[in-house]
A and B are shown apart, each in its own frame.
Chain A
Amino acid sequence: MTFLHASLLIGGLVALAPILLHMLGRRQPKPITFPAIRFVRQTAITAQRGWSIKRWLLLALRVLMVVLLALALSSPRVHSNMFATYVMVGLIGILAMLATAVALTAYGSRRGWQTTAIAAAIALLLWAVSGTWFGMAVSGGQSVALPSASGPISAAIVIDTSPTMGYRYHNVTRLDAAKEMASWLMDRLPAGSQIAIVNNDIGVRLNQDRISANRQLDRTIVEGKATSLIQRISASIDVLRKSELERREIYVLTDLSLPAWREADTSDLPTKLARNEEGKGIAGENILVQIIDVSVPVAEIRNWSLGNFKLSQQSTTPGSQVTISADVQSAKGSGDSPPLTVELFAETVDRSLLDRAGKIVVPESRRVHTQSVSVPDGGSLPIQMTLTELVEGTNHAELRLAFPDPLECDNIVYFSVEARPQGQTLVISDDEVDRRTVGFAIDPPPTEAPSIQNKKESDQESKPIAAMYRLGSTADLEGMGTEDLARFSSIVLFDPGNMKADSIDLLERWVEQGGGLMIILASSFDSAEALMEGSIAKLLPGRVKSLSSRPIKDRSVSMAPSISKHPIWLPFERPIEDIPWFQYAVFRHWNIEGLDDRSIVLMRLTGTEPVLIEQVRKQGRILTWTFPYPEPNKHTREQIWSQLYVNDEWPGFELLHSSIRYLAAWNKQQLNYFVDEPAVLENNISQFPQLYKMYSPQSEETRVESSDESLVYTFTRHAGQYRLKGLLPQGPVVRGFSVNVDRKDVSLERILPSGLDKAIGKDLYRIAKDREEVQSSLGEGRYGRDLSPFLLMVFVMMIMAEQTMSSRFYAQTKSRGA
């Protein structure tokens, strides 16, 4: 507790006046002879005691009034956190006084010992509570500086740079509002103050001059990832503790959006703020934390966004297409949206990426797709768009919500897709005709476009093998190593028989490193038991239970897609469900059960048994057919597995072709990241340059060098497209990737007060919204709260009590005297 006018406390000595007046003004009793004194004596003791008690109570009240007035005039100030404590102590003190008065009055008037005892016990309890509490508050409470103490302050201005700070309200972003408030705060700091602007910059340092702080403030921008305000405050505390200035303050300018405070549960700020260097509550050691809320009123929040975006594949072959799906979302309270337009912009693939005066010339974008949607308030609507005719190289595109809502960062989705020529496929089959047939499925002859069945005959004329695939037998596989397989982007095992375990292990390793393997089960095994005993079982997605067979006449079983969206379906120009799969009966198939979590059933039979299964194995994947396509060469018409291949129908062919292409185009290379995720690009220096220039979305240029055959870029702090340009003797190499704001970081939901209490510590911070509140809050935080109003209120109550008591005390005397 600190007193603004401590000298006025001397005025408390005036309390002696009532005592002196009381002593001097005591009247002598009037002597009267009275024989019947025996009847007086019975009541006199009680009455005299009661009268005496009333007299002393009145005196005590008057003394207390004087003391209280002196105390009130001396303007006692307490730390604002302790204000409630002092008020409570005061109230309990008043109750204790009342209880004491009641106890004394009961004792004086002999109301019965129970009443006296109860009142006395309550009074004692209340005195004990208020006394102890007051003692604790005085000894352990935080001190406050006097308003006159206008010494310099060591201040840290922590600015929230989360994506939501870009929310525009009254044409001002929250960050701009925060900056303005920060500037206003800096103007009000005493001369000689040290200021640290804690923003996007790494590290916190105290600026001795205002200009540096202003410059740092100007550089503050909205980031693509939610700020960890707790870390920033923690760093600020560390820096302020090292300051030689005694007064230390932290201002946190934030919109209180939840993502910036998501570490609240594990925050160590409460212990850090409660602690000081000596471990004692010394004035000046305490750091004032002032939260300044720059958020938009909840009722005013409007936002529509693109969320849950997903790209069908990040790499494909030139001329292919990819789909991007997303949800158009409406924040609750935004109201029913007007028709929103979602646009897909594709960027021209630039192979040279011109650099003019240190700035790149961003290739031109063209709008390739537009879709209008209306989203209900608080709802979401899925959309899907396809980017077709991909050009070889890195294709950049953007999905934009063409609606001017206040928060822009969640209106755009950037994505990059790499289109590169399909790699070579190795077709392994012990039957020469079969492997050639599969080869034709991979790369049909361009000219005559014969039917596959017709190719059976023509293949025997030893037609040159196309470069897109290579044919081999299981025996060929035995002689290969990992390096040999690395040349192939996909491998097809057609009707594999008993293969050596080494070969299977080799294939497994290859798949796990990112290879795409297709296993087409056919007639090499007689039974499911024989199949499961073979080494090939290791590569299957589940346990083969049986071989199901149906008569040729039974056309009741056919296959159908299990999922509606998959890159394999993309070549089909209509929805996969619309393909007439029911026309192609399946007569035999292997029953596979016990699929694990890594497996996805792409096609099922009518009887729900899976027939086309994709299984992810680390970075690669395996596609398993439970019946053969094409039909094995050695089968007679009675032994056929399905009708897919019988009449040279296109769906089966397209399915096989697309599946192999899907596996061949599969690339483990990730080109789409979230903000702050390190981007890693494979960079085989035999094919790619060692050194690149990296251009950020803000056209900031940095140099990135390949290391361990990969390019690593960690400063993905902003959403957008990042472009790399390197040079090879044959010309420039342009690559790139996209970075998006993780929608988890874009939440306009506010942290609750309880959350702030957890994050910073209850009563260890103050919160204000506008300048007036900030000024008041800072005043209270720095100089504490004035107890005078409360004391004056008690003083007025005491005047009333004194009036009541004295009027009752003297009323009878006066009336009788009159």
Chain B
Amino acid sequence: MSIVQLGIVERSKDTTMFSSFVSLVHESKRCMVAVEQYLKPELASQIKRLDLRAQMIVRGFLQGMHASPYHGFSVEFSEHRRYAHGDDPKDIDWLAYAKTDKYYVKKFESETNVTGYMVMDLSQSMGYTYRQQLTKFDYCICLAAALSYLMLMQKDPIGLVTFDKKIRASIPPRSRRGQFSAILSLLSKLKTAGETELRAPILQLAAMLRHRSLVMLMSDLLADVQPTLDSIRMLRHAGHDVIVFHVLDEAEVTFPFDGLVQLTDPESGQSLSVNADDIGQEYRENIRKFRQELKQGFNESRIDYVPLDTSMPYDKAITEYLLSRRNRF
């Protein structure tokens, strides 16, 4: 089933943007990935207008897609400085010399692309859904699709890393068009399994990343708070820009159960019989505290923390986040 058949094309008003999206889709056809399953055309058109910028200066190795208003290549004017002995004479701003009769050197900052990594938790718990509609992992795929689309639209290379106890699968960052379909293709094939373990895979990831990158971690983070924070902070300390998408199931946030229930942990297999009525309130409080602790911990390390649950429309959630991030930088 194609997007045209679904009638999405007719609904899209920005046909230029959408054409690039369609081309991406076509490229992914050979992988038989239903892109529309993860990225709605409305969302694609909506986020097209946004960007995802790294919050720090990165030394990219490819040119960015943005046009520079200054001379030079991928260089952005920074400041004028008096010429000093030893400076490259070719950097002298002769126009300034003509005006002032003094030698000034033009300083430039290079503007480059940023490499994005989507790091996705593939533990068993990510495959959980209470309403039997969208698992946390599905939700993350949707997020990943949107973000990948955005990055690729910015000509930024985007890669994928999935992990449970260790890194399970990865796609190196690329900015070519086929990367989108490659990512979605891989994601659609992956099955959640195993226990959540952040430290080892993140250590492994940190070793993998040679340049400062934009790491977008998507996980339910169902582990102890402090080791989680410590692990993710390692990435931050390595100079990477980290965004944590903390995705929980709706039921994990609202605890909608009542009466006697026997809860079973899909990862460890442990079960617990409780009266949901008695513990509901306290559970919700625990979750709130858990999120609060994570938020506080990440904020201290200047890590973006985006708490999400599967009841939240991901398109809205991602749009709001991107807007807020753009406003910040």
Indicate whether A and B interact: yes
Chain B residues near A51: list those with CB within 8 A: 275, 278
The answer to whether the Cβ of A40 comes within 8 Å of any Cβ in the partner chain is yes
Q: List 24 A-B contacts (CB under 8 A).
A: A29-B259, A29-B261, A29-B262, A30-B261, A30-B262, A32-B257, A32-B264, A34-B251, A34-B252, A34-B263, A34-B264, A35-B220, A35-B265, A39-B287, A40-B274, A43-B279, A47-B275, A47-B278, A48-B278, A51-B278, A812-B258, A812-B277, A813-B258, A813-B277
CB distance from A723 to the nearest CB of B (A): 101
Nearest CB of chain A from residue B198's CB, rounded to whole Å: 14
A35 contacts which of B252, B261, B282, B290 (Cβ < 8 Å)?
A: B252
Is A44 part of the contact surface with B, judged by Cβ < 8 Å? yes
Q: Which of B252, B273, B283 makes the CB contact (< 8 A) with A48? A: B273
Which B residues touch A41, using CB under 8 A?
A: 272
| Beyond A37-B271, A813-B259, 5 extra complex contacts between A and B, CB < 8 Å | A29-B274, A36-B252, A37-B268, A48-B274, A50-B278
1/0 per residue, CB under 8 A from A, across B232-268: the answer is: 0000000000000000110110000111111111111
The proximity string for A residues 1-40 relative to B, scoring 1 for CB distances below 8 Å and 0 otherwise, is 0000000000000000000000000011111111111111
Q: B128 is contacted by which of A31, A33, A816 (Cβ under 8 Å)?
A: A33
With the chains together, A439 CA to B278 CA distance in Å? 124
Bitwise interface map of B from 264 to 305 toward A, beta carbon under 8 Å scored 1, else 0: 111110111111111100110011001000000000000000
B125 at the interface (CB under 8 A from A): yes
Indicate if the CB atoms of A37 and B270 lie closer than 8 Å.
yes
The answer to whether residues A816 and B274 also contact, given A27-B260, A30-B259 and a CB cut-off of 8 A, is no
Query: How many angstroms between the C-alpha atoms of A605 and B240 in the bound complex?
Result: 137
Min CB–CB distance B229 → chain A (angstroms): 16
Contact flags A45-63 to B (C-beta < 8 A → 1, else 0): 0011011000000000000
Q: Would you call B263 and A37 a contact (CB within 8 A)?
A: yes
Cβ of B222 under 8 Å from chain A: yes
Check A40 against B278 for contact (C-beta < 8 Å). Answer: no
Residues of B within 8 A of A686 (CB): none
Q: Could you say which of B266, B267, B274, B287 has the most chain A C-beta atoms within 10 Å of its C-beta?
A: B274
Knowing A34-B265, A43-B282 are in contact, say whether A29-B273 is a contact too (CB < 8 A): yes
Look across to chain A and name the residue whose beta carbon is closest to the beta carbon of B252. Answer: A36
Closest A residue to B268 using CB positions: A37
Among residues 782 to 818 in chain A, which have CB atoms less than 8 Å away from a CB atom of chain B?
812-813, 816-817
A35 and B279 within 8 A (CB): no
**Bound CA span A414–B174, Å:** 144
The 8 closest A-B pairs by CB, nearest first: A35-B125, A816-B258, A47-B278, A29-B260, A29-B262, A43-B282, A34-B263, A39-B286
- Inter-chain contact B279/A40, CB cutoff 8 Å: yes
Inter-chain contact B258/A817, CB cutoff 8 Å: yes
Complex alpha-carbon distance, A251 and B275, angstroms:
67
**A42 contacts chain B at the CB level, 8 A cutoff:** yes
Question: Chain A contacts of B265 at CB under 8 A?
Answer: 33-35, 37-38
Residues in B neighbouring A35, C-beta threshold 8 A: 124-125, 128, 220, 222, 249, 252, 265-267
In angstroms, Cα B37 to Cα A812, docked, is 40
Residues on the B chain within 8 Å of A28, using CB: 260
Determine the distance from Cα of A9 to Cα of B30 in the docked complex, in whole angstroms.
85
Asked whether, in the complex, the Cβ of A817 is within 8 Å of the Cβ of B248, the reply is no
Name which of A28, A47, A817 has the most chain B CB atoms within 10 A of its CB.
A47
Query: Chain A residues with Cβ under 8 A from B259's Cβ?
Result: 27, 29-30, 813, 816-817
- Whether the Cβ atoms of B283 and A40 lie closer than 8 Å is yes
Q: Tell me the minimal C-beta distance from A181 to chain B in angstroms.
A: 68
Bound form: Cα–Cα A51–B259 in Å: 11
What band does the interface of chain A fall in when counting residues whose beta carbon is under 8 Å from B? 20 to 34
Please tell me if the beta carbons of B125 and A47 are within 8 angstroms of each other in the complex.
no
Q: How far is the CA of A27 from the CA of B261 in the complex (A)?
A: 10
Whole-angstrom distance between the Cβ of B55 and the nearest chain A Cβ: 31
How long is the Cα–Cα vector from A51 to B272 in the complex, in angstroms?
14
Residues in A whose Cβ lies below 8 Å from that of B268: 37
Which residues of B lie under 8 Å from residue A50 when comparing CB positions? 278
Q: Are A39 and B283 in contact (CB under 8 A)?
A: yes
User: Would B277 and A31 count as touching, CB distance under 8 A?
Assistant: no
Q: Is the CB of A44 within 8 A of B258?
A: no
B309 CB to nearest A CB, Å: 11
With a CB–CB cut-off of 8 A, which chain A residues contact B290? 39
* Chain A contacts for B128, CB-based, 8 A: 33-35
Residues on A with C-beta less than 8 A from B273 are 29, 48
Mark each residue of chain A from 665 to 705: 1 if its CB lies under 8 Å from any CB of chain B, else 0.
00000000000000000000000000000000000000000
B286: A residues at CB distance < 8 A = 39, 42-43
B287 (CB) vs chain A CBs: closest residue: A39
Q: Which of A27, A33, A44 contacts B274 (CB 8 A)?
A: A44
List residues of chain A with CB within 8 A of the CB of B252.
34-36
What is the chain A residue whose CB lies nearest that of B249?
A35
Give the Cβ gap from A33 to chain B, nearest Cβ, in Å. Answer: 5
Q: Is the beta-carbon distance between B222 and A38 smaller than 8 angstroms?
A: yes
Whole-angstrom distance between the Cβ of B103 and the nearest chain A Cβ: 66
B131 CB, min distance to chain A CBs, angstroms: 13
Residues of A within 8 A of B275 (CB): 47-48, 51
Find the A residue at minimum CB distance from B224. A38
Of all chain A residues, which has the CB nearest B262?
Answer: A29
A33 to chain B: which residues have CB within 8 Å? 128, 263-266
Q: Which of B220, B251, B272 contacts A44 (CB 8 A)?
A: B272
Question: Quick one: closest A residue to B276, CB to CB?
Answer: A816
Known: A35-B125, A35-B249, A813-B258. A40 touches B277 (CB 8 A): no
Distance in Å: Cβ of B114 to nearest Cβ of chain A: 33
- What chain A residues lie within 8 Å of B266 (beta carbons)? 33, 35
In the complex, A27 Cα to B260 Cα: how many Å?
A: 8
* Distance between Cα atoms of A684 and B251 in the complex (Å): 127
Chain A residues with Cβ below 8 Å from B274 are 29, 40, 44, 47-48
- Provide the B74-92 mask, 1 if CB < 8 A to any CB of A, else 0: 0000000000000000000
- Give, as a whole number of angstroms, the nearest-CB distance from A283 to chain B: 53
B261 & A32 in contact (Cβ 8 Å cutoff) = yes
On whether the beta carbons of B279 and A47 are closer than 8 Å, the reply is yes
Distance of A433 Cα from B270 Cα, bound (Å): 144
Q: In angstroms, how far is the closest chain A Cβ from the Cβ of B129?
A: 10
Which of B270, B282, B287 is close to A47, meaning CB atoms less than 8 Å apart?
B282
Complex contact A37–B258 (CB within 8 A): no
Q: How far is the CB of B226 from chain A (nearest CB, A)?
A: 14
Chain A residues with CB below 8 A from B262, complex form: 29-32
Shortest Cβ distance from residue A37 to the other chain B in the assembled complex, whole angstroms: 4
Asked whether B283 lies within 8 Å of A37 as measured between CB atoms, the reply is: no
A34, A35, A48, A51 pick with most chain B CB within 10 angstroms? A35
Q: How far does the Cβ of A5 sit from chain B's closest Cβ, in whole Å? A: 42
Taking the closest CB of chain A, its distance from the CB of B37, in whole angstroms, is 23
Find chain B residues with CB under 8 A from A27 CB: 259-260
In the complex, what residues of A have CB within 8 A of residue B125's CB? 35-36
B135–chain A nearest beta-carbon distance, Å: 11
CA A813 – CA B271 in complex, angstroms? Answer: 22
The answer to whether A36 and B222 touch across the interface, beta carbons within 8 angstroms, is yes
**List of A residues within 8 angstroms of B257 by Cβ:** 30, 32
Cα of A38 to Cα of B248 in the assembled complex, Å: 14
User: In the complex, which residues of chain A have a beta carbon less than 8 angstroms from the beta carbon of B277?
Assistant: 812-813, 816
CB contacts (< 8 Å) of B279 on chain A: these are: 40, 43-44, 47
- Distance of B303 from chain A, by nearest CB (Å): 22
Q: Which residue of B lies closest to A28 (CB)?
A: B260
A43 to chain B, nearest CB (A): 4
Q: Complex: how many Å from CA A813 to CA B260? A: 9
Q: Which single residue of chain A is at the shortest CB-CB distance from B282?
A: A43
Q: Which residues of B in the span 104-161 have a Cβ within 8 Å of any Cβ on A?
A: 124-125, 128
Q: Cα distance A30–B263 when bound, in Å?
A: 8
Contact at B264–A40, with CB atoms within 8 Å? Answer: no
Would you call A32 and B263 a contact (CB within 8 A)? yes
Contact A37 B272 (CB under 8 A): yes
Tell me the complex Cα distance, A30–B275, Å: 10
Question: How far is it, in angstroms, between the C-alpha of A37 and the C-alpha of B279 when the chains are bound?
Answer: 12
Please state if B248 and A36 are interface contacts (CB–CB under 8 Å): yes
Q: Taking CB as reference atom, which chain B residue is nearest A49?
A: B278
Q: How far is the CB of B249 from chain A (nearest CB, A)?
A: 7
